[in-house]
Amino acid sequence: FKGRLVFVKTYAPVDGRKEITGYIKGRNDEKICLRLKDNNEEIEILYSDIAKARLAIDF
């Protein structure tokens, strides 16, 4: 799914937000790395912090 757009909800804020939309840059056993859709910033989210995740549609 590398390069796909995803929508992620987290249990606690990550960089000040609990709802994140971004493109999958990579992953490992503990976390996922996303490039945010709105500002191209890269962010890492631990799998244990993710409440819900799904593929999103890019308009």
9-30 tens-digit pLDDT: 999 999 999 999 999 999 999 9
User: Among 3.40.462.20, 2.30.30.180, 3.30.300.30, 3.40.50.150, what is the CATH number of 5-55?
Assistant: 2.30.30.180
Q: At residue 51, does pLDDT exceed 90? A: yes
Helix (H, G, I), strand (E, B) or coil at 47: helix
Pairing of strands 50-55, 17-27: unpaired
Q: At residue 59, does pLDDT exceed 90? A: no
Dihedral sign, Cα of residue 44, residue 47, residue 48, residue 52: positive
Quick check: 24 and 15 in contact, CB under 8 A?
A: no
Q: At residue 58, does pLDDT exceed 90? A: no
The rounded mean pLDDT for the chain is 96
Task: Check residue 11 and give its pLDDT.
Answer: 98
- Phi, psi of 58, deg, nearest 5: -95, 115
Task: Check residue 52 and give its pLDDT.
Answer: 98
Residue 58 DSSP class:
-
Any idea where the domains of the chain sit in the sequence? 5-55
The residue assigned the tokens 């500002």 is 39
